[in-house]
Amino acid sequence: MSKNRIKFILFVAALLIGIPASLIGFLMLNSFIAAFNSGADPASIFRGHRLILPTEDQAQWMSTDVEGTQPNQNTLENLISAYWFAWEALARAYQTGDSADLPTYWAGAALDQVQAADPSSSMSFVHNRHRLYLRFLSDDMTVAVVDDVGFQYHITQQGVEFVISANATLVLTLDNSFWRIREYTIDFMR
Amino acid sequence: MTQIRRFILLSIALLCVVLSVRAQTSTPSPSIVLDAPDTIGAGEAWSLYVNLMSGEAGMLIPIVLLNGLSQTTQTVITGTGGIARWDIPAGMTTQSGRSLIIARYGNFEIRRTIRVHAGQAAQTDLLTTTNSMTAYGDSRAMLIGLIRDAYGNPIDVRGRDSEALLDIRFPDGDKRAFSLTPEIGLVWAWVDSLGGPGRVRVQFSLDQATAGIEIQQVPGTARTVTLTLSPPCILNDGRDLLRLTTDIVDGHGNHVVDGTLVGFTLGTGEGYASTADGRAVLTIVPPTMIGLYRMVAWSGDAVSVPVWLQVTDETCS
């Protein structure tokens, strides 16, 4: 094999590796800058966090009329997004056993409880129909109490599916620009 | 006789049809019963009895227990009389709320809920929505308590108003007890400032849970600015520096907060300094042209009485 041919093969190989690598690098840098500009924890992009709103079927505000401080649209969007992703992180932890995302959306006692629940069993977990009622919002909009009424989740364990309805009451706090669930109580319905 | 026999046969056939239709449409009676306490405390041990109405022994019955976000599965085997028992140890059912038990037997599924109460208050996070508030009752801060039991369950303090109190000591030594408004998951209260500037110490205790924080009561905005010159008369030889000193107090005679911006108008020029212990000092090179110079200091809306600097080529008296 001639020297020029080897050079050409090396050149083509470098192109094949270099173009996708630079494209991926550019996209990651773009996401990083976008996340940073929107006030998100830039590290969260490496854990798959995106600031997107759930659809109405997934989660929806039913009432946001609280005594005292009235929430602004930005706060409501951040709250519902964080709440939805908290459940998504939990579902991912149950499905994959990877609980690295949990501290992004859960904090304090709630995080301890979620981690103590050991969400590492191989189990399918689908949740939807979160109907949210804002019960309390502190005057500086950093502490919120939310009721989630009649949400559903489906658990498939060892081939058996269970459809469960429940109500939940949650306390969320704004820590470092992120809303996180700090306390929760779940009431299951029969 | 034949007609009577036909009538009886037809009636029996009709009866059979009716009974079979009814048997198909009616709900089958439960073949399995779950017996558990209606209420337990968080972390308590308890027992679940599974009763197979058919009385069959040796049957495997899978059970799922959903307690908060934790799930436990267990398969029990019925013994004599079709009864099985699952002993749930202490420290397993720790999350408060209504837990769900699901048992399956063949195609039949039965569910039962059990109420888990939070224990005594063991931990508290005391939060404030502001770290400082203006003294003299001119502003207020929201205080929020997140009270939990030993397992991290939020405590419902409704009905315990006389126990869940904030003890607050203000800078002037006044003590007050503030009652808290309970929400599910937290308690909160507005606290108005009282007395002069200084530290407000807030204490909360309920059962085993205690917490304390401090809020700073800060002086109000500048009300009186007093400007002094040193020296008030200066020679135009350019060998001296002029020192402008301001004392700034709020409406109650207390020094304003450190870092308050003070502006100086020096004839046609301006200068700025910030306060430390209520005092701002600006040192400048004085003008060399002989004359009287009007000097004023201001902070916010408060303006000092003008003072005059004399620059002379003779002796200052």
Is residue B5 one of the residues assigned to a domain? Answer: no
Q: What is the CATH number of the domain that holds B49?
A: 2.60.40.1930
Q: Is pLDDT above 80 for B188?
A: yes
Structure letter (DSSP) for residue A117: T
Percent of chain B with pLDDT over 70: 93
Coil, strand, or helix at residue B196?
A: coil
User: Which chain A residues are within 8 Å of B64, Cβ to Cβ?
Assistant: 155, 157, 162
Question: What local confidence, expressed as pLDDT, does residue A51 receive?
Answer: 62
Q: Is pLDDT above 50 for B29?
A: no
Q: Is pLDDT above 50 for A48?
A: no
Domain end (from B99, B117, B135): B117
Closest-CA residue in chain A for B91?
Answer: A116
Is residue B177 one of the residues assigned to a domain? Answer: yes
Is residue B25 one of the residues assigned to a domain? Answer: no
> The whole model's pTM is what?
0.76
Same domain assignment for residues B214 and B133: yes
Same domain assignment for residues B48 and B127: no
Residues 6 or more apart from A50 whose CB is under 8 A from it? none
Residue B51's domain comprises 30-117
Is residue B24 very low, low, confident or very high in pLDDT (cuts 50, 70, 90)?
Answer: very low
Q: Is pLDDT above 70 for B18?
A: no
Domain end (from B77, B94, B117): B117
Rounded to the nearest angstrom, the minimum Cα separation between A140 and chain B is 6
Question: What local confidence, expressed as pLDDT, does residue B266 receive?
Answer: 87
B89-106 pLDDT tens trace: 999 999 999 999 999 888
User: Which chain B residues are within 8 Å of A114, Cβ to Cβ?
Assistant: 69
Alpha-carbon separation of residue B60 from B57, B66, B169 (angstroms): 9, 20, 63
At the topology level of CATH, where does A54-189 sit?
Nuclear Transport Factor 2; Chain: A, (3.10.450)
Percent of chain B with pLDDT over 90: 70
Question: What local confidence, expressed as pLDDT, does residue B44 receive?
Answer: 96
Chain B contact for A164 (CB, 8 A cutoff): yes
Is residue B18 one of the residues assigned to a domain? Answer: no
Cβ pairs bridging A and B (under 8 Å): 115
Domain end (from B59, B87, B117): B117
User: Which chain B residues are within 8 Å of A170, Cβ to Cβ?
Assistant: 185
Task: Indicate yes or no: CB of A190 within 8 angstroms of CB of B100.
Answer: yes
Which residues are bridge partners to B140 per DSSP? Answer: B192
Same domain assignment for residues B142 and B210: yes
Q: What is the CATH number of the domain that holds B193?
A: 2.60.40.10
Total tally of structural domains belonging to chain B: 3
**Cβ under 8 Å to A: B residues 17-76:** 62, 64, 66, 68-71, 73
Q: What angle do CA B289, B292, B295 make, to 5 degrees?
A: 110
Sheet holding B224-230, edge to edge: B224-230, B242-249, B279-284
Rounded to an integer, the average pLDDT of A143-160 is: 87
Q: Is pLDDT above 60 for A41?
A: no
Same domain assignment for residues B152 and B230: no
Is residue B317 one of the residues assigned to a domain? Answer: no
Q: Is pLDDT above 60 for A47?
A: no
Q: Is pLDDT above 90 for B7?
A: no
Rounded to an integer, the average pLDDT of A183-188 is: 94
B210-227 pLDDT tens trace: 999 999 999 999 999 999
Task: Indicate yes or no: CB of B68 within 8 angstroms of CB of A123.
Answer: no
Chain A contact for B111 (CB, 8 A cutoff): yes
Name which residue leads in pLDDT, B245 or A66: B245
Same domain assignment for residues B208 and B235: no
Alpha-carbon separation of residue B228 from A36, A96, B224, B283, B312 (angstroms): 50, 73, 13, 12, 19
Rounded to the nearest angstrom, the minimum Cα separation between B94 and chain A is 9
User: Which chain B residues are within 8 Å of A117, Cβ to Cβ?
Assistant: 68-71
